[in-house]
Structure 1
Amino acid sequence: MQTIDFYLDFVSPYAYLAFQALPQVLQDSSYHVAYKPVVLGAIFKEQGISSPAGNPSKHDWIRRHTSWLAKQQGDSAFAWPQPHPFNSIGLSRLALACSHDGSINRFTAETIFKHVWQSGGDPLDAARLQELQQQLQLQIDRAGGVFALDSEANKQQLRLLTEEAVARTVFGVPAFVVEGQMLWGLDALPMLREIVRNAAD
């Protein structure tokens, strides 16, 4: 089975929207998706890119654009978190605590994405984080502590995934690496679909 590496950061609304759309894009294909959390800020720094959130006009546009895109996708639950941007590293580390092999499964990614992008609340609120960890506790237990939360192995894995993304020319999220090609952005999904279809022929 061939694999698509999906690099994501939970702070990105475009990564959330791509995640939601991906099952339809890959319908009737045999590809396995490896969901890989990265630190978007570190990728920006490595690539010499300024964060869009640092530009108020651009941030306002992204807010309006993604809200519109969510409606186009039929996602009535989409809501921007307050505040945004926020430090998402803790969420990525929680995700990796659910992993036994260095990537995360779709349930883990979906649970955290919904926590951020379907509530409108503060993703880092202590009570909400405790509830999120409870929702993921079975995944954490099944992972067997390979990347236990706050362990050095967990921190190192997030660092390695980020470095891996940069080495594969990733400069933002969502990013997909498939058939030796890097695709970037929500609007790359039709191109991803074409690659998957061509590979099946």
Structure 2
Amino acid sequence: MKTLRFYFDPISPYAALAFEQLPEALADCGSYEVEYVPILFAGLLMAHGQKGPAEIESKRRWTFRQIAWQAHKLGIPMQTPAQHPFNPLPLLRLAWACAAPGSTPNRHQVETIFRHVWRGEGANAVDPQRLAALTQDLAPRQDPASDAIKVQLREATEAALLKGVFGVPTIELDGRLFWGLDSLEMVAGALRSDAWFEGPDWDAAGAERPGIKRQ
């Protein structure tokens, strides 16, 4: 059975939509299992010297218009939280705190966190009262504020960076990384052993080429 690793941060609306769409997108791809890996998107951005889409005003407007269209097209209810960007650390730590020892959070736990953010009728995702209610609902196995959980999140983010993860959502399959909501079709092709993935095309398409580099 194939294993997919779904790297996510609940701050990302694209990750939220990809999470919701994943079962349908891979419905005819045979048996597989998914490991849901919470990582800090801001950590990826910092490592690569980038700003998030919501930190560039013109890009923010486009991002949320596109997300609203994608949600409409896919028939997925979605409401942008009152504050965005926000600090997702409490939610990421809660996700890890819910996981069994040596494992990652399960789909129900991740779904509950995503829907807290993106189906919360536009409320503040990190409002203390809402966070307290979410924590009570999920009943984490560990203290989300513990040093052990903070280390786990940091190590997961660092491990993702070492593998080449640069954004969320990213899906890892057989050592390959697939980034973004629109990569689900490619993931499905890889799971079906499409001939394109069996030959040299994957490596050839990603080969380094000479070009101008900004300093």
Following TM superposition, by how much is the alpha carbon of 1:149 offset from its aligned partner in structure 2, in angstroms?
A: 1.5
**2: distance between equivalents of 1:88 and 1:126?**
13
Aligned match of 1:171 in 166, 170, 177? 166
SS of the residue 1:176 aligns to: strand
Q: TM-score, normalised by structure 1?
A: 0.91
CA distance in 1, matches of 2:158, 2:132: 29
Aligned-residue CA RMSD in angstroms?
Answer: 1.2
| Distance in 2 separating the partners of 1:26 and 1:105 | 18
The aligned residue for residue 211 of structure 2 is none
1:134-184 C-alpha deviation (Å, 9 max, x unpaired): 2201xx2xx4x3xx3211110011001101111111110000110110110
What is the number of residues matched between the two proteins? 191
Shift of 1:26: 2.2
CA contact (8 A) 1:102 1:157 kept: no
Look up the match of 2:137.
135
Deviation beyond 4 Å, 4+ runs, structure 1: none
Structure 2: gaps (5+ residues) = 195-215
Following TM superposition, by how much is the alpha carbon of 1:66 offset from its aligned partner in structure 2, in angstroms?
0.2
Give 1:125 deviation, angstroms: 1.0
CA distance in 2, matches of 1:47, 1:104: 27
Verify: 1:126 aligned to 2:128, yes or no: yes
Gaps of 5+ in 1: none
Shift, 1:194, TM fit: 0.4
Give distance in 2, aligned partners of 1:163 and 1:30: 29
Residue 111 of structure 2 is matched in structure 1 by 110
| Structure 2 partner of 1:24 | 24
**Greater CA radius of gyration, 1 or 2?**
2
Instruction: Give distance in 2, aligned partners of 1:103 and 1:49.
Output: 28
Measure, in 2, the Cα distance between the counterparts of 1:90 and 1:123. 10
